Structure 1
């Protein structure tokens, strides 16, 4: 699956979590721009893991701060 396909899927998963209607781009941050709290992050990560049949470790989650980093990480995991 290429990056564009992963991006499209993640955007559809993110829609219900984007309560403030923030415009999403690669530099959009989850904590700052999206104002995700820890519970929202857990729910969002679970939705992504289910959709792509992957596991995002706590260490990986700590390193992913922006939307672009998430898309890149998921694209890499799906390819493995």
Structure 2
């Protein structure tokens, strides 16, 4: 089982190519406000997360995930 720190590291690695403003990442970093992602970027990123972790993030889950920490926690839960 992968622990939260490992998942956090993989998630931040996956964010890097989409982090055009080189925003410092933390649990509270928001995708919409801090990273300023549009809907297409979000969809591309979600696909990358789903491929990396072999999970499915539903549209309802996506709507509730606003921060890096929330995403990491969702991945941990889906991998359990």
TM norm structure 2: 0.97
Is 1:32 matched with 2:33? yes
1:17 matched to which residue of 2?
18
Return the offset for 1:26: 0.5
Alpha-carbon distance in 1 for matches of 2:57, 2:66 = 13
- Secondary structure at the residue paired with 2:32? coil
Is 1:51 matched with 2:52? yes
TM norm structure 1: 0.97
Deviations 1:11-60, CA, capped at 9 Å, x for gaps: 11111000100000010000000000000000000000000000000000
Alpha-carbon distance in 1 for matches of 2:60, 2:52 = 20
Deviations 1:47-80, CA, capped at 9 Å, x for gaps: 000000000000000000011000000011111x
Alpha-carbon distance in 1 for matches of 2:14, 2:61 = 19
2:65 matched to which residue of 1?
64
Q: Which runs of 4+ in 1 moved over 6 A?
A: none
Alpha-carbon RMSD: 0.4
